[in-house]
Structure 1
Amino acid sequence: MIALIQTIVMALDIYWWIIIASAIFSWLYAFNVVNSRNQFVGTIGNTLYRLTEPALRPIRRFIPDLGGIDISPIILLLLIFFLRQFLLTTVLSLVV
């Protein structure tokens, strides 16, 4: 059971970094720092979008529109942090 919890925590940690990479990429893309016509850049952007959008879309439905500011990645990171801490403190102490 401990191995399962550690695997879930590792997957959450990896997804944490994917969300951060997606947010940074969206800023770079919005400010034309990266070449949007480059196929490699487009592939990275599409991959990051497909990995993060299913988790961010439900959050975006509930938060109000703040203009050009998207706080849904921050909310998702907080949810992941809460779930990770819950697994490590509560669930793991019940198992051990």
Structure 2
Amino acid sequence: MQSVAQILLLVLDVAWFIMIVHIIMSWLINFQVLNLYQPLVRQIWDGLNRLLEPIYGPIRRFMPNTGGLDLAPLVALIAVYAIRIVIINNLLYA
């Protein structure tokens, strides 16, 4: 059971890292440090959006409209961290 918990923690850590990269990249694009007309930047951005939209989409439908501020990544990060805490407390140290 401990091996399954460690694998789940690994998957959550990878998801956390991908979300952080997506958030930082969105800031860099909005502040025009990165340009979406560059093919590599566009491919990475599209890949991250396709990967994370199944996670962010339901959160966006649940949350109220905040205008130009997207809080779905923050909620997803908190959810991933909360799931991580539950796994650590209940499966690894049980």
User: Shorter chain as normaliser: what TM range?
Assistant: over 0.9
CA distance in 1, matches of 2:39, 2:26: 16
**RMSD between aligned residues:** 1.1
Which residue of structure 1 lines up, in the alignment, with residue 45 of structure 2?
45
Which residue of structure 2 lines up, in the alignment, with residue 72 of structure 1?
72
CA distance in 2, matches of 1:34, 1:82: 32
Where in structure 1 are there 5+ consecutive unaligned residues? none
Where in structure 2 are there 5+ consecutive unaligned residues? none
What TM-score do you get using the length of structure 2 for normalisation? 0.93
Which residue of structure 2 lines up, in the alignment, with residue 7 of structure 1?
7
CA distance in 1, matches of 2:24, 2:37: 18
Give the number of aligned pairs: 94
Which residue of structure 2 lines up, in the alignment, with residue 63 of structure 1?
63
What TM-score do you get using the length of structure 1 for normalisation? 0.91
CA distance in 2, matches of 1:68, 1:31: 14
Show structure 1 runs of 4+ deviating over 2 A.
Answer: 91-94
Q: CA deviation at 1:26?
A: 1.2
